[in-house]
Amino acid sequence: MPVGDIATADTVIATDLREWAITPETDSVAAGSIGFATENTGAESHEMVVARAPSIESLPTADDGAVDEAAFSGDQELIGEVEAYPAGDACDGTFDMDPGDYVLFCNLVETEPDGTQVSHFAEGMATTFTVTE
């Protein structure tokens, strides 16, 4: 389900989601209403969470390897997310973003048939993103 109206975005960025990467067509844009036209080219469901944070490593994690969004503090802030959607689909998300450093990540955790848990974030499905003046 889309977040916001991408037709009203100041900038639209095509963004690829797949195992284990989030790849926007650019890693820096000017502040404003930013639309992410995401496409899941992977084999599994994915989501894209947008958080203001100085780095990937600065994000707090839970025991399962996912980002603990409830533990954000200081210069970390949850901006919003494109909820999980299936492989082969596309979904848009539009967010008002001020200048600063951001992290885009998938925070899904799957339980495999053998009972092990796989955190998409822990597998490396995160990237940094900069919003300029």
Would you say residue 6 has pLDDT above 90? yes
- Quote the CA–CA distance of 87 and 120 in Å, as a whole number: 14
CB atoms within 10 A of CB 53: 24
- Quote the CA–CA distance of 99 and 132 in Å, as a whole number: 5
Q: Which of 21, 29, 84 is nearest to 56 (CA)?
A: 21
Identify the band that residue 33 occupies on the pLDDT scale cut at 50, 70 and 90. very high
pLDDT digits (tens, 9 = 90+) for 12-26: 999 999 999 999 999
- Average pLDDT score, the chain: 96
**pLDDT for the residue 2:** 76
Would you say residue 102 has pLDDT above 90? yes
Q: Is the pTM of this model over 0.85?
A: yes
Would you say residue 1 has pLDDT above 80? no
pLDDT digits (tens, 9 = 90+) for 42-98: 999 999 999 999 999 999 999 999 999 999 999 999 999 999 999 999 999 999 999
**pLDDT for the residue 26:** 97
